[in-house]
Every structure is written in structure tokens, then in C-alpha cells.
Chains A and B, each alone.
Chain A
Amino acid sequence: MIQLPENFETYAEARKAGFLRMKELKESGRRVVGIFCSFVPTELIEAAGGTAAPLCATSEEPIPAAEADLPKNLCPLIKASYGFALTDTCPYFYFSDFIVGETTCDGKKKMFELMNDIKETYVMQLPARRDEAALDAWEKEVVRFWKKLEDFYGITITEEDVKKAIRLKNREREVMLRFLELGKLNPAPISGYEMGTRLDGLGFNPDIEERCRIIEARTEEVKKDWEENYKGKPSRRPRILITGCPNSGIREKTIKVIEELGADVVAFDCCNGTREKVEKVDENLPVTRALAKKYLNINCSVMSPNETRMEYISNMIDEYQVDGVLELILCACHTYSIEAYNVKKTAMAKNVPYLMIETDYSKADSGQINTRLEAFLETISQFK
């Protein structure tokens, strides 16, 4: 029997609706596996007849609850995600059959140990480098996860199932990439705020085909509008590349603000941007090797060394005609804040102004962030 949480009646309408939607999905027989990170090969979840529910939390609401168990000085994304799990207030966590974690950053890795007491949390051991030995080890983890899904649900996942899922996810990557690459057009045809919120919203849609159709339609619409109304009309608005941590929880006080101040956010080097989308799963390699290879190549700062991220940023600056690099760091994210040193060097080497903002989900520093973003745009406009 699929039950709603005890406090369900006290929830706000939007949250109630989320719970009811997920309950319906479960009642239809769909399997739900909660995930946190773009390193998890979701093709396997699809192949198991499941959907991957994104659990990275973006709200400050459950953080006080999380701080009962977790240290205060920890990444807000980790605290918020754990807080939602603890308080039964996230429908996606609540209705997940089990959770898949990965050994990416230390904060998440150790949080998963605690989360396992709330709901089974299976952890994939991600190596931190990219060489043959790491690829072999990661491929074994892919195989182990495949087996885990079969054991958990008592099913057999065939190679054909996985191949089908790979084709589907590759198509999704292509569609999402085409949407995000609208930012290469000059003048910018769509706001970065819209690109981010739209992709986030789609993550909760369990039907990948439908996600693709929605985004394809919007891409066409934006392109047509640009051809008819903006093409050939240069704009003086500075073009900004966003890089760093997942930014959904701080989008309002950074991306939205800088666009209101007169800039266009055109490019995203982050896990909710193009980073995971640029490389597809090779459909000609043996499936587990192909999956391992694709996911190991994600340019997250947990990888060491991570020069490929610098090469990627450098290319993006050219391809998206970027005037300024804005790095968004979540408080207490060691890997990104240390790697910021190299990102700044990369931007400066291309003579592109760089600004790093370290913040959390609270509004306490909105005033200071506004001043910094404004000053950053003034700095850029001296060179433009």
C-alpha cells in the first residue's frame, strides 16, 4: 500500500500536489530511484523500468532540521537534501524506492552514511582520476549498480534494455544541448534564468520523450523569434558564463540579479548546464565500458587533476563570445573553491574579467552580492 507522509495534511498546496503526482506515478507501477549527481548512469535506472528522481535540494527551509545531525559549516545543498529526507517533506525522496549516492565530494559521501539510516542509500565508488585503472574500477561499479537494480527489483535487465536507454538518454542530451547552445547566438535570444529554471523543472518529469518534445518546441520557438526580431542587431549587454557549483538554490540572488542589472547569461559550465551533455555515451562500445567512459569524463571539481574543465571553459569563452566569467560557489565546497584559483587564471589568460561569489541559500548577503555583480558589470563595460 502506497502511503502519504503522516504530516501530509499540513503541507502547502504545491507540496501536496507534488506528493499526489508522485503517488500516482508509483501506483502506475513505475519504479523510482533517487539520485543526487550527474555521475550516476541513469540509463541503468531507465532500463530497469524506473525513473531517476533528482534530489539535490535548493531551499533553505529544511536546513535547521538537518543541522541537528550535520555540522553548520557544510554545503547548503547537502544540508537541505538531508533535511528534506529527515522531515518527509520532499515527495521525490519520500517515494524513492532507494537512493543512489556516489563518492564525489567528502560532504556528500559522509552524509550518505547518515542518510542510509532514513532510507537505503546505495553508494557508487567513483574514482577521482581519469586513467585506465580508474576506468576499469568505475566500469566494475557500473556493473555492480546494474546487478543492484536487478537484485533490488528481482528483475533481469538485458543488454538490449540498456542499449535502448542509452539511445534515449543520448537523444535527450542532444536536445538539451541544442537548447543550451542557443546562448551562442548573439544577441542572446533567451535569458539564462529561463534556461536554468526550465531544465530544472523538466528533471521532475518522468517521461524523457516528453521532456525532449517540450524543450525542442521551446528551442524552435526561441530560434524563430531570434531570426525574425533580433538577428543582426548587436547588443551591448555583457555576455556572462556561469561556472562552479550547482546553482539552482542561488539562482534568484545571482543569475536573476545580474540579468536584471543588464547582462545576458549565455553559458553554463556546471552540472545543470552543458557539462554533462557535451559527451554522449558511445553507442559502438560494449555498454558498460561506454557508460563508464562517458561518466568518468564529467569535468566536476571532485576529479583530480581536472585540467579538462579549464580547457572546456576556455573553449566556451570563445564559442559563446563571453565577456565575463561568474563563478558561483556554495559555502564550504572545498573542491570548487580551491579550483576557483585555476578558473580565475584561465579567464584572466583570455583577458576576460572574473568574479567569484561564495554564498549559501540564505538571503543575508543579497545586498553585498548586488553591489559585487553591479561592480563586475561596470568592470566589464570598461573593456566592451
Chain B
Amino acid sequence: MDYIGIDIGSTCAKVVVMDEDEKIRHQSVQPTGWSSVDTADIIKNMLLEKGISPENGKVVATGYGRVSVPYADKTVTEITCHARGAVWLYEKKNMAVIDIGGQDTKIIILENGMVRDFAMNDKCSAGTGRFLEIMANTMALKPDALCELARKGKDVKISSMCTVFAESEVISLIGQGEKKENIAFAVVNSIADKVASQCSKMNMSSEEVFLTGGLCECSYLREVLEEKLGKPVLTKPECRYAGAIGAALCSRNI
């Protein structure tokens, strides 16, 4: 039996297929594009080509596009999926998980492997991947290049929490001839500040924090977060699949 987890986020769609022994048979990522329904279709065809049949397996969909997967047996929210994914990835039962996604940032507190409390960013995109993406666009950089450049920067601060106003702040910094690496530094620090402030409202008693979601590959962001939270922030490359892994695990309970 194949256990299929599909995580359709606002930016990327992730798929993980597990076998009976919870071993990952397949994982892939692709842009969500403008239609999650089309994306779900493309994923289905891709799986069929690899000899994995959604009809014969169990499918759980998660992420904001979870309702657009017609062949899913069940939908589960990204909170539960990221929590289960993180427990599986780190083999720990008590921890704090930070998922920085395209349009949402979530903080999840786990006790005994169960979600004890969670928080999501409000209506605004400060402290999310979208914020990074928009600033990178304004600076004619790729998001990961911005992250790496930020490491070399210093001193500059963006104070606006609103993405639109922050963008004008970045534009005026460019206009003033501020060095690109310093602006990049300001952008990454702004995200880390926002995330740390969300964390401060939660009871983060665990020793370590685990980072999942699309921005987990930005190593500089992880370092800044570590500094701001005052505790180790761990991540692995597979962490961007945490939601899909959690979904695949959830499909075992159907």
C-alpha cells in the first residue's frame, strides 16, 4: 500500500509517498502555479508515470490548496501535518516547530508528540516566505541569493511590518545607495524579528526549536533565529517536505 501526502502550499506543492514501513519511496516539489486544481492533476499524472496509483493508495491532502485535490481520501490542516512530520523527522516528542511557509508562519508546541498549542500569523504577510519573495523581486535577486547575501550585511533595519510599506522602505534604501548586502541583511532580520515575536507569545519550554517549511534551506535565517530565540534552531533539507510527510503519515490512520 502506498501512503501519499500532498501538501499544496501557496508557493510550492510537495508530494511524499511512503511504504508500509514509513520509508519514503518518492518525494518531489513543484511550483503551485495559479491553479491548485491543475497542480493536483499534474501530481496525479506524475505519480501514475512512476507506477504509484492514488486510487489504490491512501491520499491525504494538506496546505491551503488541500480542498482542491479531488482524489484525496481526507484533508488535514498543515498544523497537524507539520507537527507529525516534525516528530517523524526528528524523532522527538517534545519540541517547538516553526514552519515558515509562503503565506503563513506557524508556531507549533508539541508535548508527548501531540499538538499542545499553535499560532499562525494574522492577516498580514510579515515574517513569511512571501515577504522574502517580494523583497527579493524588488532587489532583482532570487530568494536564496538574498539569504546568502544577507550574511555579509550589517547595521540596516527595516522597521515597517507591512509588506507594502516595507517594500517602499527597501526602494528608498536602494535610492539612497545603501549596499545590497545591507538591505538583504535588513530583510532577513525583519523576518526573524517577526517570527521571534510570535514565538514570545508561546510557551516554548523545549530545549530546541525545529524549523520546517520552504525557508528552512536559508541557513542564514536559521542562524539569526537561533540568536534571537537564544536556543538551537535545527533543520534538515527534508524539512520542506515536513507537511507532506505528515500528510502521508496521517493517511495511515484512514
Interface, chain A (partner B; CB < 8 A) = 348, 353-354, 358, 364-365, 367-368, 371-372, 374-375, 378-379, 382-383
Q: Which residues of A contact B23 (CB under 8 A)?
A: none
- Choose the segment among B24-32, B75-83, B135-143, B176-184 that binds chain A (4+ C-beta atoms closer than 8 Å): B75-83
B122: interface (CB < 8 Å): yes
Using A367-B64, A371-B64 as known contacts, say yes or no to A379 and B79 having CB atoms under 8 A apart.
yes
Nearest CB in chain B to that of A372: its residue: B120
Asked if residues B120 and A371 are in contact (CB atoms below 8 Å), the reply is: yes
Asked if residues B114 and A375 are in contact (CB atoms below 8 Å), the reply is: no
Q: Which residues of B contact A358 (CB under 8 A)?
A: 122
Q: Which residues of B contact A348 (CB under 8 A)?
A: 117
Asked if residues A364 and B118 are in contact (CB atoms below 8 Å), the reply is: no
Using A375-B118, A382-B115 as known contacts, say yes or no to A368 and B79 having CB atoms under 8 A apart.
no
B123: interface (CB < 8 Å): yes
Q: Could you give 13 example pairs across A and B, Cβ below 8 Å?
A: A353-B116, A368-B120, A368-B123, A371-B78, A371-B79, A374-B77, A375-B77, A375-B78, A375-B80, A375-B118, A378-B80, A379-B80, A382-B114
Q: Which residues of A contact B76 (CB under 8 A)?
A: 378
Q: Which residues of A contact B80 (CB under 8 A)?
A: 375, 378-379
Using A367-B64, A371-B64, A383-B114 as known contacts, say yes or no to A378 and B77 having CB atoms under 8 A apart.
yes
Nearest CB in chain A to that of B112: its residue: A382
Query: What 13 additional pairs, Cβ within 8 angstroms, besides A353-B117, A371-B104?
Result: A348-B117, A358-B122, A368-B120, A368-B122, A368-B123, A375-B79, A375-B80, A375-B118, A379-B79, A379-B80, A382-B114, A382-B115, A383-B114
Q: Which residues of A contact B117 (CB under 8 A)?
A: 348, 353-354
Q: Which residues of B contact A368 (CB under 8 A)?
A: 104, 120, 122-123
Q: Which of B99-149 contact A (CB under 8 A)?
A: 104, 114-118, 120, 122-123
CA distance A341 to B238 in the complex (A): 35
Q: Which residues of A contact B79 (CB under 8 A)?
A: 371, 375, 378-379
Nearest CB in chain A to that of B82: its residue: A375
Q: Which residues of B contact A371 (CB under 8 A)?
A: 64, 77-79, 104, 120
Using A371-B64, A371-B77, A371-B78 as known contacts, say yes or no to A378 and B115 having CB atoms under 8 A apart.
yes
Q: Give chain A's interface secondary structure class.
A: helix
CB 8 Å contact bits of B159-181 with A (1 = contact, 0 = none): 00000000000000000000000
Top 7 A-B residue pairs of the complex, sorted by shortest distance between their CB atoms = A375-B79, A375-B77, A378-B80, A379-B115, A382-B114, A374-B77, A365-B123
Nearest CB in chain B to that of A382: its residue: B114
Q: Which residues of A contact B64 (CB under 8 A)?
A: 367, 371
The distance from the CB of A265 to the nearest CB of chain B, in whole angstroms, is 19
CA distance A382 to B109 in the complex (A): 14
CA distance A221 to B123 in the complex (A): 42
The distance from the CB of B126 to the nearest CB of chain A, in whole angstroms, is 14
The distance from the CB of A332 to the nearest CB of chain B, in whole angstroms, is 13
Nearest CB in chain A to that of B106: its residue: A375
CA distance A86 to B200 in the complex (A): 42
Q: Which residues of B contact A374 (CB under 8 A)?
A: 77
CA distance A379 to B118 in the complex (A): 9
CA distance A365 to B122 in the complex (A): 8
Q: Which residues of A contact B115 (CB under 8 A)?
A: 375, 378-379, 382
CA distance A371 to B121 in the complex (A): 12
CA distance A353 to B109 in the complex (A): 12
Q: Which of A348, A374, A383 has the most CB of B within 10 A?
A: A374
Q: Which residues of B contact A365 (CB under 8 A)?
A: 122-123
Q: Which residues of B contact A379 (CB under 8 A)?
A: 79-80, 114-116, 118
Q: Which of B62-85 contact A (CB under 8 A)?
A: 64, 76-80
Nearest CB in chain B to that of A345: its residue: B203
CA distance A331 to B126 in the complex (A): 18
Q: Which residues of B contact A383 (CB under 8 A)?
A: 114
CA distance A367 to B63 in the complex (A): 12
Asked if residues B120 and A364 are in contact (CB atoms below 8 Å), the reply is: no
Q: Which residues of B contact A353 (CB under 8 A)?
A: 116-117
The distance from the CB of A351 to the nearest CB of chain B, in whole angstroms, is 10
Asked if residues A364 and B123 are in contact (CB atoms below 8 Å), the reply is: yes
Nearest CB in chain B to that of A380: its residue: B115
Nearest CB in chain B to that of A381: its residue: B80
Q: Which residues of A contact B104 (CB under 8 A)?
A: 368, 371
CA distance A368 to B115 in the complex (A): 18
CA distance A383 to B114 in the complex (A): 9
CA distance A379 to B77 in the complex (A): 10
CA distance A382 to B122 in the complex (A): 25
The distance from the CB of A90 to the nearest CB of chain B, in whole angstroms, is 28
CA distance A379 to B120 in the complex (A): 14
CA distance A257 to B161 in the complex (A): 30
CA distance A371 to B114 in the complex (A): 18
The distance from the CB of B163 to the nearest CB of chain A, in whole angstroms, is 15
